[in-house]
Structure 1
Amino acid sequence: MPKSFRDIGLPSWLVENLNSLNITQPSLIQENTIPPILKGNDVIGGAKTGSGKTIAFAAPILSKWSEDPFGIYGLVLTPTRELALQIAEQFLALGATMNIRVSVIVGGEDIVKQAIELEKTPHFVIATPGRLADHILNSGEDTIAGLRRVKFLVLDEADRLLSNSFSSDLDKIFKILPRSENRQTLLYTATVTDAVRELKKNDNTKKPGLFIYEVETVDKVAIPSTLSISYIFIPSYVKESYIHSILKLPENLDKTAIVFVNRTHTAEVLRRTLRNLEIRVTSLHSEMPQSERTNSLHRFKASAAKVLIATDVASRGLDIPQVELVINYDIPQDPDDFIHRVGRTARAGKKGESISVVTEKDVERVLAIENRINKKMDKYDLVNDDKIIKESLTVVSAAKREALMDMEKEGFGERKKNNKRKHESNGKKKNKKKNL
């Protein structure tokens, strides 16, 4: 007989809140990791996107908090702003009857307002590493004092957080947190990498041991059977025209689609080009102000925009259940990123479609992906050179020229360049001081 949330140790008030959200039975990752968290174990949980990982750590943390509520009880770190906002919503929904206070600390928002929020010691802080590290360096002891007593640290999308790009910020954060033996550490991920497994070897505290649970299918079935995977092989300079033709096909006109790219500049060019061609499109990438990113996601979820152009900030964790088509405008370097991208569609047994635009530079990457998913991509033949030349090439070229001119006028990317120059300048100053 399937277990209930009450069977695995959650209190009545939390079970009632879950029921009110129409969540009545634990998923595999919840059933297997909630009990060890309640017993005091550190936990590493591996399960694919959409399997309920957030509730797997939020529910037991809220359960323990309700027994002894104080200060900043839990800190959740996650790689993107959108995931941070989504996790905060889950905490607020689960703790709705308990008046919990949750603070979201991410880039793109007022840093002074955030510092004031942290000083008031909310019960839970959901943060991206870069912005929290910024507060630790610059906002003063009154702001960060509450973090020194947290009972729980969660790394969500742990494989990404433990990559080199976040290491410097994590070092700053870990220095002010309680020692590992004085807190519980929970790592959740769709991909249990070697960097994540390495933590088990370093677990030498006297607490209850580190518990690792992976849903068995997490790596064995990389691609669901309901997902069709195809490719189209073209020269790189006509990519936009092919994307336009694919989206304008009668069978795709009403589909919700995510088009994944590797760079923010590409995302912006493609969004503006398609918008000039009267396609209902929006985008999601790190160069956008946070308010625009939030609005963009809401527009896509509400179907006000049918096409989302996104970098990998949208490939994991985000709750976008209605996607029917995923297009890889750029092929990712890491095959696992491909799996996360196409995992945005064909969810919960529904059918989905993925099309990858392959150029002469991408052949090795495609072979690596096919090897990883143990499946060959089919050739996509609904658009061809004749169709492109006849219907798309001229209008798309004109729309792209207009997009590039507008971006140049508006100085797109200047903020990123200025930040890079500032960091380089600060680095030189630090090196000078070291050499004195």
Structure 2
Amino acid sequence: MSFKELGLSKWLVESLEAMKIFAPTQIQSACIPAVLEGRDCVGGAKTGSGKTIAFAGPMLTKWSENPFGIFGLILTPTRELALQIAEQFAALGANANVKVAVIVGGEDIVKQALELTKRPHFVIATPGRLADHILNSGEEAIAGLRRVKYLVLDEADRLLSNSFSSDLDRCFKVLPLSEKRQTLLFTATVTDAIRALKDKPVVEGKLPVFIHEVETVDKVAIPSTLLVYYTFLPSYVKEAYLHSILKLTKYEKSTAVIFVNRTRTAEILRRTLRKLEFRVASLHSEMPQTERTNSLHRFKAGAASILIATDVASRGLDIPSVDLVINFDIPADPDDFIHRVGRTARAGRKGDAVSMVTEKDIDRVHSIEERINKKMDLLEGVDDEDVIRDSLNVTTAAKREAHLEMEKENFGERKRINQKKHGLDKDISKVTKKKSKSKN
């Protein structure tokens, strides 16, 4: 079936063809007609399956029939994903003068408020920054949100977790009621909570929720072309072992993503590896938005062969041609492991995933192996004596220099100030609540 047969506008089909997209994927074939029909929709499919077009296509089609104000709001958990979605909307709507605003942290909030007052057709936002505007930018900035026709939650399983709940609640309060808008949820992991939405009572005048899953994570946990390795090491010399892994003959020319659990670890590794003359970029929340965007572009363009990232990069981002994924830190959630290693061995290509396992990680590794239904193999070639001889001294010296640089630059100071500020805000809120109770 073609995009035209699915019901997309002629101009949009032409835009897709100009982008060399001729045939719909499974998730697009299933969800586009349902959304055009007016149904709320849940779409589950792995990264790279075309979920963005599955919701952007019908939204743009309906917008072109009756363009007005802020037509659709797309919420997504990270700035990088927001920018990526905005790029696709801009490309799809280039011939139709579609106006898109990206509302994310790390950018000038006053400029963003002005953008919102101009009523862009589509707003792509992270919940935290949009909540900031709702609190502080005034009615003129948020008035357009009160009439949106579509709300999209991209990476819905993450957005519906506790960490986003208060910001989402604040966003939802300014939007039309659910019966007066279409709500579209798209995710790589359809959780039981999301699946349960189909059992909700149908609101009068609305069609039942449409749910479609393409290959659940369980069925495609680990592709057959992905080789899963581990290396066991003491926790206090991880950088030396990482150096040895990257120097293995089979990985010397590989493009690699190294995943860590904390922003500070990402920054230490970036500086350490750079001193050891690796071409490195990094991606974490302590970096200014412009630096994060530049890092991603450098890695995609091949100017950097290694990307060090927190889990901000493990889901949704389109990072092609990665040969190797290294788990410098083992994730607590086995599903996060699956999303991380999903950066390689895509579209039938081969790839390796290496997990650096310390004495503290045994239980996590067992949980991961149970989840993927596969035992990790020992990585050959990383010998303790070789690490001590070839890597320990140089990495220790480089790491020491990295630490000293970060101390001089007060790395993490902005985060500490924000944490104190939020803590103070909470304390003020508690005191205010106590006072109001005592008055009553």
Identity %: 70
Structure 2 match to 1:13: 11
Matched, 1:46 2:44: yes
Matched, 1:253 2:248: no
Structure 1 match to 2:366: 367
> Is 1:102–1:123's contact at 8 Å kept on the other side of the alignment?
yes
> Is 2:155–2:186's contact at 8 Å kept on the other side of the alignment?
yes
Q: Residues 143-171 of structure 1: CA distance to partner in whole angstroms, max 9, x if unpaired?
A: 00000000000000000000000000000
Gaps of 5+ in 2: 436-440
Give, as a single letter, the amino acid of the residue that structure 2 aligns with 1:363: I
Report deviation, 1:343.
Answer: 0.3
Query: 2:364 and 2:217 mapped to 1: Cα distance?
Result: 22
Matched, 1:149 2:147: yes
> Is 1:46–1:218's contact at 8 Å kept on the other side of the alignment?
no
Report deviation, 1:322.
Answer: 1.3
Compute the TM-score of the two structures, normalised by the length of structure 2: 0.98
SS of the equivalent of 2:426 reads helix
SS of the equivalent of 1:7 reads helix
SS of the equivalent of 1:22 reads coil
The equivalences for 1:16-27 within 5 A come to 16-27=14-25
Compute the TM-score of the two structures, normalised by the length of structure 1: 0.98
Report deviation, 1:238.
Answer: 1.1
Structure 1 match to 2:116: 118
Report deviation, 1:200.
Answer: 2.8
Q: CA RMSD in A?
A: 0.8
The equivalences for 1:66-105 within 5 A come to 66-105=64-103
Q: Residues 152-193 of structure 1: CA distance to partner in whole angstroms, max 9, x if unpaired?
A: 000000000000000000000000000000000000000001
Report deviation, 1:12.
Answer: 1.4
Structure 2 match to 1:192: 190
> Is 1:10–1:63's contact at 8 Å kept on the other side of the alignment?
yes
Query: 1:181 and 1:359 mapped to 2: Cα distance?
Result: 51
Gaps of 5+ in 1: none
Query: 1:275 and 1:237 mapped to 2: Cα distance?
Result: 20
> Is 1:42–1:186's contact at 8 Å kept on the other side of the alignment?
yes
From 111, 133, 136, the equivalent of 2:134 is 136
SS of the equivalent of 1:268 reads helix
Structure 2 match to 1:333: 332
The equivalences for 1:118-267 within 5 A come to 118-206=116-204, 207-267=206-266
> Is 2:8–2:58's contact at 8 Å kept on the other side of the alignment?
yes
SS of the equivalent of 1:294 reads helix
Q: Residues 361-395 of structure 1: CA distance to partner in whole angstroms, max 9, x if unpaired?
A: 11111111111111111110121101101110000
Report deviation, 1:197.
Answer: 2.1
Query: 1:217 and 1:177 mapped to 2: Cα distance?
Result: 31
Query: 1:204 and 1:419 mapped to 2: Cα distance?
Result: 42
> Is 1:203–1:210's contact at 8 Å kept on the other side of the alignment?
no
Query: 1:271 and 1:352 mapped to 2: Cα distance?
Result: 23
* Number of aligned residue pairs: 434
Q: Residues 54-106 of structure 1: CA distance to partner in whole angstroms, max 9, x if unpaired?
A: 11110110011010000000000000000000000000111111000000000
Query: 2:384 and 2:327 mapped to 1: Cα distance?
Result: 19
Give, as a single letter, the amino acid of the residue that structure 1 aligns with 2:319: I
Report deviation, 1:217.
Answer: 4.6
Matched, 1:323 2:290: no
Query: 2:189 and 2:415 mapped to 1: Cα distance?
Result: 30
> Is 2:189–2:216's contact at 8 Å kept on the other side of the alignment?
no
Query: 2:137 and 2:203 mapped to 1: Cα distance?
Result: 32
Structure 2 match to 1:63: 61
Query: 1:18 and 1:203 mapped to 2: Cα distance?
Result: 37
